Each structure stands twice: as C-alpha cells, then as structure tokens.
Homo-oligomer: A and B are copies of this chain.
C-alpha cells in the first residue's frame, strides 16, 4: 500500500463515517473519527463542549475579533488555538502510529506534508443526504434541510478559518466522490483502489 494515511472530508449526510469504517476494515487499518474529540479533551484539559464547538464548527465572530486569523507559529494561549494545537498534535500522532483512516478534523490539511497521504472528499445530492439525516434524526423535512445547510456551512467556515483553503473544492483533494450516484460500496472500492 502506497498511501498509508487516508483522510476523509465529507458533506454532512454523505456517509463519511460508514465509508471510512468499511475502508479501514478492508485495508485492515485503524480508523479515527470521534476519537479526535475525545483525545483532544484529554490533551487540552478543556471542556468537551468547548472542544466540540471548536473542533468541528466555526469560531464565533467574537473569537475572530479577539484572536484574528490563526498564525500557527505564534505562541498564543487562546482556547481556540489550544484546541487547534492539541488536535494537530493528536492527528500527527495518529498518522505516526501507522496506517489509518481519519474522518474530518482538517486532517487533510494537518498532514499535507506527508507523501503517503490520500485525501478524499465525499459529497452527495440533497435527496441522498436528506434521506440519510432524516433516518438518523427523524426530523421534519424543513429541519433536515436546515440541519444539513447549517453543518456544512459551519464546516466550510471552520476549514477556511484554520487552513485558508476552500472546503469541498475538488482541486484541494486527491479524490472527490459522489456517494449519491456511486453508492457506498463503490466509494469504498474506489478509495481502496486509490490507496493501494
């Protein structure tokens, strides 16, 4: 296997966790998903709620004014930066410890220097995503749509804020897959083929 470290970025409802798990199983490697949050709580000593808010979503406007854009080389003890730095350390440790799949957490950016990195972006049409989210949360149609929009907008702002890159722009990844038209099984096959 050439590409030992696989990062999966995904639109909400496109099956990132499921696909990541199946890829890891097929390749016989580790998967890290919610583990990133758990370990970041341990590492930073910050409250889980705070780590979740800054680990997945966008900083508030107040934070932007208070801390400005992040200079990763600066020494700064702002909680936002503490979460980012703890997460950066954890993700690098995951990658160092051996072949793995990492879902979310800007891992594609954090590990961008690695030559054995395969970066994947998963997306899906609205219909597929709504069906999936409705199944999980049992929302009304309107609530489902709002939930998808909210989370994807937050993810894209979060990514832009910390990495300076456009989230979901194909050109930023090795492989971008439409889970709606291809289906879960084919997405798994394609990621495994790209990694081997």
Known: A175-B176, A176-B176, A177-B175. A123 touches B190 (CB 8 A): no
Interface segment among A31-39, A83-91, A156-164, A178-186: the answer is A178-186
Contact in complex: A168, B171 (CB < 8 Å): yes
Query: Are the CB atoms of A123 and B171 closer together than 8 Å?
Result: yes
Minimal beta-carbon separation of A186 from chain B (angstroms): 6
A:165-196 near B, CB below 8 Å? 168-171, 173-178, 181-182, 186, 189-190, 193-194
Interface presence of A54 (CB below 8 A): no
**Assuming A186-B194, A189-B193, A190-B193, is B170 touching A174 (CB within 8 A)?**
no
Tell me which residues across on chain B come within 8 A of A174, comparing CB atoms. 177-178, 181-182
Question: A186 CA to B1 CA in the complex, in Å?
Answer: 13
Interface residues on A, range: 10 to 19
- Least CB distance from A76 to B in Å reads 32
Residue interface mask A124-141, B partner, CB < 8 A = 1: 000000000000000000
| Bound Cα distance from A178 to B173, whole angstroms | 7
Smallest CB separation, A119 vs chain B (Å): 8
- Cβ-closest chain B residue relative to A11: B171
Give the residues in chain B near A186, CB-CB below 8 Å: 193-194
Q: Which residue of B lies closest to A181 (CB)?
A: B174
In the bound complex, CA of A190 to CA of B193 (Å): 7
Q: Which of chain B's residues have a CB closer than 8 A to the CB of A121?
A: 170
Chain B residues within 8 Å of A169, by CB: 169-170
Enumerate chain B residues within 8 angstroms of A181, measured Cβ to Cβ: 174
**Chain B residues near A171 (CB, 8 Å)?**
123, 168, 178
**A residues engaging B (CB < 8 A)?**
121, 123, 168-171, 173-178, 181-182, 186, 189-190, 193-194
| Pairs of residues from A and B, 4 with the lowest C-beta to C-beta distance, nearest first | A170-B170, A176-B176, A170-B176, A174-B178
